[in-house]
Amino acid sequence: MTVALTENEKLSRTLHRIFLVLYLQFAFYWATIAAGMFVNYYYAVPSTVQATFSSVLLQIFAAPSLFAHVIFAVLSTSMSIPVIFLARRVGLSKVVLLHSGAITSRLVGFVAGPLFIYYSTSSISNAESANISTFTMASVFLLAVILTFLSRIFIVREDVRIKFTEPVQQTIVGR
């Protein structure tokens, strides 16, 4: 079966896919926050944790709340990858830049998180550095949320432009 799609319809479909991924990303953001609050209220770094890379890393699997927090953080960050891929396809360079920025800021958070555990271990026990690490983690998370929020503005603008523009009659063939 051949389906004739105009260029605008093709664009519209891609934008719709971006919207769906963004909804999923926002859901994962929410889950990250909820799990983060569990960590904040109920998790304390055990005295058995050593100030070594492997011991700090293994802590991720030690507490369910911490594990859920990390998993949702990874999932919400990785949602930017399909957005970048789809935005590149429709030439939304600002969206690509904003999501690249969001990924970068989240990567900073992925360093600050384990640093919090490291500074909280009994052998290091540096409360000030642990506080700075937590504050950095929270701040870059919000920065990433803001950047992804901003990206949606450009997607909405493009969506409206397509809807209110004369359709370009370019037929493509597909199944």
Least distance CB 54 / another protein (angstroms):
26
Residue whose CB is less far from another protein, 61 or 135: 135
Residue whose CB is less far from another protein, 104 or 139: 139
Name the site residues for another protein (rule: CB under 8 A): 26, 30, 33-34, 37, 40-41, 44, 127, 131, 134-135, 138-139, 142, 146, 149, 152-153, 156-157, 160-161, 163-166
Say which residues have a Cβ less than 8 Å from residue 144's Cβ, sequence separation at least 6. 77, 101, 102, 103, 105, 106, 109
> How far is CA 170 from its chain centroid?
35
Say which residues have a Cβ less than 8 Å from residue 92's Cβ, sequence separation at least 6. 154, 155, 158
Residue whose CB is less far from another protein, 26 or 85: 26
Q: How many helices (H) and strands (E) would you count in the chain?
A: 6, 0
Least distance CB 34 / another protein (angstroms):
7
